[in-house]
Amino acid sequence: MNNGDDYLTKPFNPRELISRINNLLTIHYADKEAQFYEFKVNAKDKIIKSNDGNQLSLTKTERRLFFYMYENRDLILTKNQIIDYVWQFESASENTLNAYVKKLRTKLLDSGTIIETIYGIGYRLNGG
């Protein structure tokens, strides 16, 4: 595990801390591929494959977005949290984020079950 894989700001909910620890342990110590809906996810190598073995073609930004949400699955992430992580030092708006979520949903054949919109707040990647 690397230093700085995740962080929480104070005050924080203890359940969120436990969830994040479990997600980090899953990513760093679990089997190489984990079943996630109709996909096999390799969090270490940042690869998503369909169950028939075909790798999903994701852009760098789509991959960064998916795996940030995957590492924080079942947690509600604000739009600002996602934008700050995915685009870091680049400028991005909520509209940009919304467009990338739409592209990712299309590639995951998702109608809102996998990536859930939390209106007025952000998104949650549901556990699978």
Between the CA of residue 115 and those of 4, 65, 69, 73, 101, what are the distances in Å? 25, 11, 9, 9, 8
Domains of the chain and any CATH numbers = 14-125 (1.10.10.10)
Best mean pLDDT range from 37-46, 84-93, 96-105: 96-105
Q: Is the pLDDT of residue 1 over 50?
A: no
Q: What is the tens place of the pLDDT at every residue in 77-86?
A: 999 999 999 9
Kindly report the average pLDDT of the chain as a whole number: 87
- pTM for this prediction: 0.76
Rg (CA), the chain: 14
Between the CA of residue 117 and those of 22, 41, 59, what are the distances in Å? 23, 22, 21
Q: For residue 11, is the peptide bond before it cis, meaning its omega torsion is within 30 degrees of 0? A: yes
Residues 82, 123: contact at Cβ < 8 Å?
A: yes
Q: What is the tens place of the pLDDT at every residue in 5-30?
A: 677 778 878 878 887 787 777 666 55
Q: What percentage of the chain carries pLDDT values higher than 70?
A: 91
